[in-house]
Amino acid sequence: MFRVSLNNAFAKRSLRPLHEKHQATPVNVLLALADPTDKIYSGMVAALTVDGTVDVYASGTAWGLFALDKNDVIDDTNGQPTDLGSETNGTPFAVWQGGPDAYFRVTDPKVGDADCVISGTGFAVGAPVYAAAGGLIDATGTVVIGNVVEVIEDGVDLVIQLSAPAS
């Protein structure tokens, strides 16, 4: 008989591909957080560091959107074999990178929280989505990560087309 915790039985990721077949690419990378207590929700913007690992985007080049989670509800780093790394030197993780038909639904599980995935309430269909510390924002002056395809609930639930990463 298997005993499985049901604490997170109904937990959902905050980023989901809209179509079964698409040209977005999940890239296998190592996660090395500058602050190991940082929480990651799928859909947050990832930045490539100089040593080739990824961290939560703060500034510079946005590299894609996190496909996995590391937070109080879902922790995809939990149970990783120790020989694959640790939070200080890298834990296997995945990041979605865009393409011509890379459509994703992004839902913010932490609206108004410091760990929110979507910031702002001025999203408009066809407008660019920008990278912000920790997530997506509607304000200009930052790095474009994609375009808004549909606004299901402004500031909470969006469908975006993820751009190809900057090289």
Digit-coded pLDDT (tens) for 64-83: 999 988 888 888 887 765 45
The C-alpha R_g of the chain, in whole angstroms, comes to: 16
Residue 167 to residue 19: CA distance in whole angstroms: 25
Higher pLDDT, 137 or 22: 137
DSSP string, 5-30: --TTTT---SEEESSSS-S-EEEEEE
Q: Which domains does the chain have, with CATH numbers?
A: 15-162 (2.40.300)
Q: What is the pLDDT of residue 29?
A: 85
In percent, the amount of the chain with pLDDT more than 70 equals: 84
Q: What is the pTM of this model?
A: 0.85
Higher pLDDT, 79 or 4: 79
- Section 148-152 average pLDDT: 93
Instruction: Please name the residues in contact with 129: beta carbons below 8 A apart, sequence gap of 6 or more.
Output: 123, 136, 137, 138, 144, 145, 146, 147, 148, 158, 160
Is residue 161 very low, low, confident or very high in pLDDT (cuts 50, 70, 90)?
A: very high
